[in-house]
A and B are shown apart, each in its own frame.
Chain A
Amino acid sequence: MTSRNAGALRDTAFDAAEIDRRLAAIWSTTPGVWGALATVDHKVIGRRYITTAFVFLALGGLLSLLMRLQLAQPEARFIGPDRYNQLFTMHGTNMMFLFAVPVMQAMAVYLVPLMVGTRNIAFPRLNAFSYWMYLAGGLLLWIAFVLDTGPDVGWFAYVPLSGPQYAAGKRADIWAQMITFTEVSALAVAVEIVVTVFKHRAPGMSLDRIPLFVWSMLVTSFVVILAMPAIMVASTALILDRLVETHFFNPAEGGDVLLWQHLFWFFGHPEVYIIFLPAVGMVSTIVATFTRRPVFGYLAMVMALIATGILAFGLWVHHMFVAGLPRLGESFFTASSMAIAVPAGLQIFCWLATIWAGRPIFTTPFLFAIGFIVTFVIGGLTGVMVASVPFDTQVHDTYFVVAHFHYVLVGGAVFPLLGALYYWFPKLTGRLMSETRGRWVFGLIFVGFNLTFFPMHILGLQGMPRRIYTYQPEMPWSGLNMFISLSAVILAGGFLLFFIDVIRSARTGAVASSNPWEASTLEWATSSPPPPYNFARLPVVGGLDPLSDRRDVLPVAAGLRVDRRELLVSSIVEATPEAREASSGDSIWPLLAAIATTATLIWSIFTPWAVVWGSIPIAIALIGWFWPKGVPEDES
């Protein structure tokens, strides 16, 4: 310990009230506009992230209702072909890139630091930057759509359709550049999560004591880090092809059209697990809490998560079965696609065993967990079906596939997410959501969902292609389509009630105690919502369930300074404390850097020179961001 350090103020010198006062002074976000723009508090940013993602969910939902309105009757004249192309592309792109992935990461931004018992996420400024980039990407896409420049090439934007020859104007460029925005922000969050989980866990939280949700986010983050670069490379190559005549995807000049499909799906399939794995973690958490026992087979669950994360990279070709690949390749990817059902099945059985052995309490989050298990199993079954080449050849690009992926996406991710929101809402806002309304929400959404999407399997088998803006009355599809559209109204009603419940509960819900569900993970050890510094004294963990093991006393670590933002760095495996480290304070530079990057990225759709000139403001912003403060960064 250095001598300069010896004079520093430690929490050992004060009583509890004084510690709170001093920590609050040092960690709080300053009120006012400036404070809001400069904050690096993971809870503020996490809440913002979650709210924004749900706004995008609502917007994407509106688009799907427009599509269902158009498809309700044959030869409807409500929406023309050009607009319809934009609608399904916007819906898919918005749901995947602006809702599903970000919302899962957003939950992690809020929860992971609390669950591992630290005071802020690693790289807090990067976190702020990531949110601004995400917001800018979302606005870019939506504003373009409002101006009739929305992408119209499908959410996977296959070349040559999206290439320079067939996608006129800037629509496809907007899609491709939106990818850059969201992937930059997703990669940033992934890195933060990995470092937070590896280096900032509370003392004693060894690898085998990490909560399952944190495990799932850790695996997800690695998948993000390995998968996202593929799509960034692809979308950049697409922009280059379109703007400066490179030939990545031009077969006549030695490029390759299939290259796009490979790059896209090398990201695109893991993407499904980027959405699904966090959901798995949420379900595990909910199931454990409401059955009043730890999840059966912790080790098996963790292994299944990791196995899924690895296998996720060995399946991508099953999206390309009709692209004319060698037979051996197709067989291999059929086998691997079926193999991934093994870890998924394992997890299902672990949850069932947990419920079986426990004393389930049927609260709204738990209902959503059950709804998830049922729906996801159906989606998984049709997944195994389309994994077989002959079957897929029949139903490829039909409504069967639309039904399949909505079962896994909505059933596998949205249900757990809604459950998670009911579950963690008290920690987010300090108030509980309404249990009565919650049951209605679950009922409407579960029933509405199945009525909407189950018949799509049949439509697909009857040959109705996806992405068509209308169909002839002679086709045997009208009845089911009308039924689906009416059911979608029920589904929409469920979501509407959900949003009403969120808004009303946030204002007038019952005030929550610090641990209303009597759960056992660390986020419930602090008040609801937590103070800016999360924990007045960092907890020390002695088991997998820190709160239930010793309900009355939670041991804490002492010796941290109270005159600067400080947190603990601990070892990867055992989480023994290694060092005390400063955590960076509020800063406006991440926002400025995001604005400079946004301007450059949008400009670069129009001219390659944007990259040259735009790098100057970006460099200035980064210099401001990293300008040395003259404070020693960390001391051990």
Chain B
Amino acid sequence: MTERVFSIAKSVLAVAVLLSLASAGGVLGYLRQPRELRFEPPVAADLDWFRLMSNGIGGTPPESYFALGKPYEADAYNLSQGKRLYAWFGCGTCHGDGRGGVGPSFLDGWWLYGPEMVSIVASIRDGRPHGMPAFRDRLTIEQIWQLAGYVQTIGSYSPKVAAPSRNDDKQTRPAENRGPAIILFDEGPVGVHPDQGPSP
């Protein structure tokens, strides 16, 4: 009988060791996973109600955004949707692969309107004076948040675990999960945008 108990105890221990290892992996994966395909309409509508500073730079997201667990910055699915929207809505025509063009670069560490999510959401939703069109009539607010999360990811200096990887296209720069901003960072003799001041 004691042998029985022993053998059960043994297997429990073995399982426990492996379980903890595997669950560590699982938890790490979970951090970027929960996949909410569509929010309830009131929740989604609430995403429109963030507060912005009067100069249009910085502010606070709506309360509900925190209640949802900040899904647009660290969730793999939303970030990859954002990446898709970036291509579908032609952001690349002005911002290139993130390194800029007619519009500013996203991975040089410079943010004209600050790096916060709400600023980016506001830029996309409402447009900006020097040539950034407003997308509020073409995208839902959820999509705008997805895009904003993605745009923020492009320029991140510590790549997010949930950052998307490469597309099945020609490769022009390292993908977001490898931290292109770090790899491409080039501290030239003058800043990349001398018009924006000496430091980011």
Q: Which of A159-167, A465-473, A491-499, A516-524 contacts B (4 or more CB under 8 A)?
A: A159-167
On whether the beta carbons of A243 and B177 are closer than 8 Å, the reply is yes
- Chain A residue with the shortest CB-CB distance to B169: A252
CB of A150 to closest CB in B, whole Å: 10
Closest to A181 in B: B22
Q: Does A431 contact B (CB under 8 A)?
A: no
Any chain A CB within 8 A of the CB of B77?
Answer: yes
Residue interface bits A69-83, CB-to-B below 8 A is 1, else 0: 000000000001110
Q: Which residues of B contact A163 (CB under 8 A)?
A: 168
> Which of B10, B18, B171, B175 is in CB contact (< 8 Å) with A135?
B18
Q: Which residues of B contact A147 (CB under 8 A)?
A: 26-27, 29-30, 33
In Å, the complex CA distance between A461 and B157 comes to 54
A245 closest partner in B (C-beta): B166
The residue in B6, B80, B161, B166 that gathers the most chain A C-beta atoms within 10 A of its C-beta is B166
Q: Which residues of B contact A631 (CB under 8 A)?
A: none
B166 with A164: CB separation less than 8 A: yes
Nearest chain B residue, comparing its CB with the CB of A133: B18
Tell me if A557 counts as interface (CB < 8 A to partner B).
no
Q: Is B99 close to A, CB under 8 A?
A: no
A169 and B32: CB pair below 8 A? yes
Q: Which residue of A lies closest to B75 (CB)?
A: A169
A160, B165: Cα distance in complex, Å: 13
Is A216 located at the chain interface by the 8 A CB criterion? no
**B residues in contact with A132, CB < 8 Å:** 14, 18
For the complex, is A59 an interface residue (Cβ under 8 Å from B)?
A: no
With A149-B33, A245-B171, A253-B171 known to touch, is A598 a contact of B22 (CB < 8 Å)? yes
Cβ-based interface call for A510 (8 A): no
Stretch with Cβ within 8 A of B (4 or more), from A12-20, A137-145, A544-552: A137-145
Quick one: which of B9, B11, B14, B29 has the most chain A CB within 10 A?
B29
A247 within 8 A of B: yes
CA distance A33 to B12 in the complex (A): 9
Complex contact A160–B168 (CB within 8 A): yes
| Interface flags, B84-117, vs A, CB<8A=1, else 0 | 0000000000000000000000000000000000
Are A82 and B165 in contact, CB atoms less than 8 angstroms apart?
A: no
Q: Does B190 contact A (CB under 8 A)?
A: no
A427 within 8 Å of B by Cβ? Answer: no
Residue interface mask A35-70, B partner, CB < 8 A = 1: 111000000000010000000000000000000000
B18 in contact with A598 (CB, 8 Å): yes
Give which listed residue, B3, B29, B168, contacts A169 with CB less than 8 A. B29
Contact in complex: A37, B29 (CB < 8 Å): no
Query: Would A170 and B171 count as touching, CB distance under 8 A?
Result: no
Query: Nearest chain B CB to A507's CB is how many angstroms away?
Result: 11
Give the residue of B33, B37, B77, B168 whose beta carbon is less than 8 angstroms from that of A252.
B168
Does A169 contact B33, Cβ atoms closer than 8 Å? Answer: yes
Name the residue of chain B whose CB is nearest to the CB of A592. B17
A32 at the B interface (CB under 8 A): yes
Point out the residues of chain B lying under 8 angstroms from A169, CB to CB: 29, 32-33, 35, 76-77, 80, 162
Closest to B162 in A: A169
Q: CB of B79 within 8 A of chain A? A: yes
Q: Which A residue sits closest to B10, measured CB to CB?
A: A36
Q: Are A250 and B18 in contact (CB under 8 A)?
A: no
Contact B19 A139 (CB under 8 A): yes
5 A/B residue pairs, CB under 8 Å, sorted by A: A33-B9, A48-B11, A135-B15, A165-B166, A170-B29
Find residues 241-255 in chain A having any chain B CB closer than 8 Å to their own CB: 241-245, 247, 249-253
A1 within 8 A of B: no
Residues of A within 8 A of B (CB): 31-33, 35-37, 48, 80-82, 132, 135-136, 139-140, 143-144, 146-149, 160, 163-165, 168-171, 173-174, 241-245, 247, 249-253, 591, 594-595, 598-599, 602-603, 605-606
Q: State which residues 1-57 of B face A: CB under 8 Å.
A: 3, 6-7, 9-11, 13-15, 17-19, 21-30, 32-35, 37
Q: Which 10 A-B residue pairs are closest in the complex by CB-CB distance?
A: A36-B10, A169-B76, A164-B165, A602-B25, A168-B80, A139-B22, A143-B26, A170-B29, A149-B29, A147-B30
A82–B77 alpha-carbon span in the complex (Å): 12
Which residues of B147-200 have CB atoms within 8 Å of chain A's CB atoms?
161-162, 164-171, 174-175, 177-178
**Contact present for B178 and A245 (CB under 8 Å):** yes
Q: Which of B6, B21, B164, B175 contacts A599 (CB 8 A)?
A: B21
If A143-B26, A144-B25, A147-B26 touch, does A595 touch B17 (CB 8 Å cutoff)? yes
Contact, CB under 8 Å: A595 / B171 = no
Q: How far is the CA of A185 from the CA of B33 in the complex (A)?
A: 28
Q: Which of B17, B24, B162, B178 has the most CB of A within 10 A?
A: B17
**Residues of B contacting A31 in the complex (Cβ-Cβ under 8 angstroms):** 3, 6
- For A164, the chain B residues whose CB sits under 8 A away are 164-168, 175
Set of chain B residues within 8 Å of A135, measured between Cβ atoms: 14-15, 18
Q: How far is the CB of B176 from chain A (nearest CB, A)?
A: 10
Assembled-state Cα–Cα distance A160/B30 (Å): 23
> What is the distance, in angstroms, from B63's C-beta to the closest C-beta of chain A?
25
For the residues of A in contact with B, the DSSP-based class is helix
A251 touching B29, Cβ below 8 Å: no
**Residues in chain B near residue A139, CB distance under 8 A:** 15, 18-19, 22-23
Closest partner residue, chain A, to B11 (CB atom): A36
Which residues on the A side are within 8 Å of B18 (C-beta)?
Answer: 132, 135-136, 139, 594-595, 598
A595 touches B76 (CB 8 A): no
Q: Please state if A148 and B11 are interface contacts (CB–CB under 8 Å).
A: no
CB-defined contacts of A136 to chain B, threshold 8 Å: 18, 21-22
Please determine whether B165 and A242 come into contact, CB atoms closer than 8 angstroms: yes
Whose C-beta in chain B lies nearest to the C-beta of A80?
B37
Kindly list chain A residues whose C-beta atoms are within 8 Å of the C-beta of B15. Answer: 135, 139
Known: A164-B165, A245-B166. A32 touches B79 (CB 8 A): no
A378 to B140, CA, bound (A): 52
Q: Check B165–A36 contact: CB distance below 8 A.
A: no
Asked whether, in the complex, the Cβ of A36 is within 8 Å of the Cβ of B167, the reply is no
Tell me the nearest residue of chain B to A170, going by C-beta: B29
Chain B residues whose C-beta falls within 8 Å of the C-beta of A165 in the assembled complex: 80, 165-168
**Centre residue among A148, A170, A174, A595 by max chain B CB count within 10 A:** A170
A-side contacts of B33, CB under 8 Å? 147-149, 169-171
- Scoring B19, B168, B171 by chain A CB atoms within 10 A of each residue's CB, the highest score goes to B168
> Is there an interface contact between A144 and B80, defined as CB atoms closer than 8 Å?
no
A605 to B9 alpha-carbon distance, docked (Å) = 32
CA distance A388 to B198 in the complex (A): 70
Contact of A605 among B13, B25, B35 (CB under 8 A): B25
Docked pose: A569 CA to B112 CA in angstroms:
77
A33 touches B17 (CB 8 A): no
Q: Name B23's closest neighbour in chain A (CB-CB).
A: A143
Q: How far is the CA of A245 from the CA of B168 in the complex (A)?
A: 10
- Chain B: which residue is nearest A174 at the CB level? B29
Contacts of B162 in A (CB 8 A): 169
**Residues from chain A with Cβ under 8 Å of B6 in the complex:** 31-33, 36
Closest to B34 in A: A148
Q: Are A140 and B26 in contact (CB under 8 A)?
A: yes
- In the bound complex, residues from chain A placing their C-beta under 8 Å from that of B80 are 165, 168-169
- Check A143/B19 contact, CB under 8 A, given A170-B33, A243-B165: yes
Given the complex, which residues of B lie within 8 Å of A605, measured CB to CB?
25, 29
Nearest CB in chain B to that of A39: its residue:
B10
Cα A316 to Cα B130 in complex, Å, equals: 58
Give the chain A neighbours of B21 by CB distance below 8 A.
136, 595, 598-599, 602
